[in-house]
Each structure stands twice: as structure tokens, then as C-alpha cells.
Amino acid sequence: MVHGHRGVKFENWARTYSCCPEMYYQPTSVEEIREVLALARQQKKRVKVVGGGHSPSDIACTDGFMIHMGKMNRLLQVDKEKKQVTVEAGILLADLHPQLDKHGLALSKLGAVSDVTAGGVIGSGTHNTGIDHGILATQVVALTLLTASGTVLECSESSNADVFQAARVHLGCLGVVLTVTLQCVPQFHLQETSFPSTLKEVLDNLDSHLKRSEYFRFLWFPHSENVSVIYQDHTTKPRSSSANWFWDYAIGFYLLEFLLWISTFLPCLVGWINRFFFWLLFNCKREHVDLSHKVFSYECRFKQHVQDWAIPREKTKEALLELKTMLEAHPKVVAHFPVEVRFTRGDDILLSPCFQRDSCYVNIIMYRPYGKDVPRLDYWVAYETIMKKVGGRPHWAKAHNCTRSDFENMYPAFPKFCAIREKLDPTGMFLNAYLEKVFY
């Protein structure tokens, strides 16, 4: 018998959204999840499954039943020959990495954060960068899904293929993902090289940068021409680190947070802060080598509001120049650094922001120094307007103001996904306020 808790408050990592579910469950087995779903059907309650709670939007919030998957976190099977692993959906990637290390395996791509669950990281369409690499969900070769009626579906290219095509980016609305089978690669080291450049240079030579490095991205410092170019590539070199507590923490964290807090009273300081930190931390070449998952992952420093849209790759230059022009034309609109620009290969997952097109992700950020909210609305609206104009699609885990009519225009396969969702969850058990804006 599964026991729920009342009075539990859920808050996402960024502390941008919180909720108080009526009942909070931490099941340890499929049978216990089935009990929760049976109770929800009986009492006509809604159910939300939550993993690491890292999404900066309200996609995980509910006032109904919440199922936290943290206790279903085992590595179930390793297929050495196929280099595939099957895991319970509640496993944190941070806990999976050392287990893969033991077997000489790794994931070929990861997001910046590993305190996320296998089920959640695919469900929200998390991505990294590299023109030969799709979003993280493209590594999924099979998954099992517990539907609203209590049926378990085995999904892969050869079994329930339609559901599989939808469920790899599932938004938590198709059922409870129980297990995920991931395609791995042999363990590898990455060399990360970062060096300074300018926005003009990078945009004028984008194709050569994309070809030169397997995992290429760049950071643009708004209110300036400054760019930090980051190459990450396979290497056989031994581990070496350029990390330094003084520069990374004393300066890159504590001093930055303090200066951004002061800038909430004097917004005109933001441009200076962006240029100062570029000069201080990003103005020379840096290299380090480590296991792939240690190079892919980095700390998000402190709480923040984030937007991240995928646009057609060929629109990269147009969109960034327009964002720069907008900031120059409106000196009162301030933008924190960095604007992070990454590139991803197209795929065939129904609600993947990279569905049927190679994409560029433009990620903007406004930090919340000491938890304080910073005015961001003008920046957000101007950014969204540009992203929509060039055919963008928002990251599902991040904040956005889109509604069903927007998604119908953005996603050719939107009606197909809706039909699958309505078939698997006819009463809308797995919906919440965020998802109602998407589907109604």
C-alpha cells in the first residue's frame, strides 16, 4: 500500500514556481504507481509526475496528486554488446554517470545539468550542442509507459512506434514513464577549448566553426561585441583542469551576484558588468580535459529566469543581429550575460523543437541575485517577438507565452500528438495549468 503525504510544498530549482499538491507520493514500484492512478481515477484527481524539478517553468506543478520518481532510480540492465542501458525513469543522470563509467560507457550528449532524471530530461526536450547530435531524447531506443488506465506499453521503433515517436518528448502528459533504454557510446574524454572572439566574426564564419568542432557553442555578452567561443572535442589527452576556486567562485559567483544585485538599483551598470566580466574571465584562451560527463556538466551558479527557443539554423545570424539592434535601440532594456547559442540536428520526434529541421538554440537569461526578481518583461517580449518572426519553437521546460494556436503553427505533427494524448489519457488525468495552455 502506497502512503501519500499532505502539506508538502513543491518548488522548482529556480524558485520561479511552487505548488502545494493535495497528496505527494514517492512510490517504489509500478504496483504503487498503479494504486495512485486507481485512486486518482476514483476521486477524479489529476496526477503530475515530477523528477529533479529543474524546469524553470510551471510544467511540473499541480494541485492534485504529485508522484515524485526519486525512489525508482536503479540501473536495471547493461547490454555490453549493443552498448545500451535500461534505467528506471527516476534515476538522476548524476547518479547514472559513475555507473556507466564502471562499464566503460557514456552518453554521447548531455545537457548542462545532471541533477535531472532520465524520464524528465527526455520529456522536456533537453538538448546540448553539435550539428551531428540531436536532442538528448534521440538517444532513447525504447521506453515503457504506464497509461492512465493502468496499462503498461512497451514502446520502441518496432513496438507501439506511434506512441514511441510521441513519448520521447512526452511533456509528462501521456502517462508515467517507468523505464528508459538509452543508446550509449564507449567512454570518452573531451577537451574543452574556449577563446575570445566577436559576434561579427562568429556569425560571418559560422559554418567553419560548426565544422571545426564536434560540440561547438558560443556565448555572446549583450551590450557588447564580445563572444566566448567554446569547442569541445574527443581527445586522448590526460585529464587537466583550468578550474580555479578564486576565479570561478570568489569572482565568477560571489562578486557577480553582488554586482548584479547593485545593478537592480542602477540598471545602467549591466552593460559595464557584462564587459567587465568578459575582460576578467573570458578574454584569454583556456583549455581543460576530463571525462565527457564532467565537461558537459557545469554549475548554473544561482537562481535565474531563462528562455530558450530553437530556430531554423539558417536564421542564426538574422535573429542575433536583430536582438543586438533591439538592445541598442532601447538602452533601458538590460540583458544579463551570456546569450548562449547552441546547434542541434533535426529529428522525427513529434514535439521536439528540432522536428524535421536542423536548429539553433538561442538561450537568454536574467539572474535573480540573492533571490531578487529583476525586471525582464521588455527583454522577454522583444526576444519572443524575434524568435516567433524567424519561425522559432520554445524549449518546453522554459518559460514562454505560447498557446495552442501557436503550437499548431509551429509543429506540423501537433494534431498527431494530440490524437495520441487523447487516446492514452481521455480524461486529462495528466494535465495541469501549463499543459492546458498547450492543448486547449
Per-residue pLDDT of 293-315, as tens digits, reads: 999 987 666 778 899 999 999 99
Cβ count within 10 A of residue 328: 11
Reported pTM: 0.95
Cα distance from N-terminal residue to C-terminal residue, the chain: 35
Cα 311 from Cα 410, distance rounded (Å): 11
Question: Is-contact 193 209, C-beta < 8 A?
Answer: no
Architecture of domain 189-393: 3-Layer(aba) Sandwich (3.40)
Residue 22 has pLDDT above 80, yes or no: yes
Going from N- to C-terminal start, the domains of the chain cover 189-393
Report the percentage of the chain scoring pLDDT > 90: 87
Cell 548531455 sits at which residue? 110
What average pLDDT does the segment 20-44 reach?
Answer: 96
Give residue 137's pLDDT band: very low, low, confident or very high (50, 70, 90).
very high
In sequence order, the 6+-apart residues with CB closer than 8 A to the CB of 294 are none
Q: Which of 29, 27, 9 has its CA nearest to residue 19?
A: 9
Phi and psi at residue 133, to the nearest 5°: -120, 135
Give residue 51's pLDDT band: very low, low, confident or very high (50, 70, 90).
confident
Per-residue pLDDT of 59-69, as tens digits, reads: 889 999 999 99
DSSP 102: H
Burial tier of 341 (Cβ tally within 10 Å: 0-12, 13-18, 19+): buried
Question: Is-contact 85 98, C-beta < 8 A?
Answer: no
List the grid coordinates of 326: 533591439
Cα 364 from Cα 440, distance rounded (Å): 27
